Amino acid sequence: MMRRQGIWARLILLIVAVIAAACVAAVLLRTGLSFLKELQPNGAGERDPMFAEEAVQATMPPDLIEEGDIPASGDRSSEWETGIETPVDMTADELGAAARRSDD
């Protein structure tokens, strides 16, 4: 009978020791994580401005905007310069012909 009481006492002490070890591990883990947060560029508690609650939109003050300054929206392809040709604008055959002409 005495032997069984010793086993139960040891089992209870083992359970208490496991719970205590888990608590110590949790405290150490929490301390380590808070230390790592402080090492980050935006330390603990400092909010990243990219994720601000209100987005700040940069606009010109109304007194600096004049009617003629704002370009009209729409198709402006008629204003493009098409006289300049680059190798990107040519096909493979055209590039080959240009290379043969430059070799002659």
The pLDDT assigned to 103 comes to 83
The pLDDT assigned to 65 comes to 61
The pLDDT assigned to 52 comes to 64
What totals of helices (H) and strands (E) does the chain contain, helices first? 2, 0
Query: pLDDT digit of tens for each residue in the chain (104 aa)?
Result: 556 778 888 999 999 999 999 999 999 999 888 777 777 665 555 666 676 666 667 776 666 666 555 566 677 777 777 777 666 777 889 889 988 998 87
pTM score above 0.75: no
Structural contact between residues 38 and 46, judged by C-beta atoms closer than 8 angstroms: no
State how far the Cα of 95 lies from the Cα of 85, in Å rounded to an integer. 11
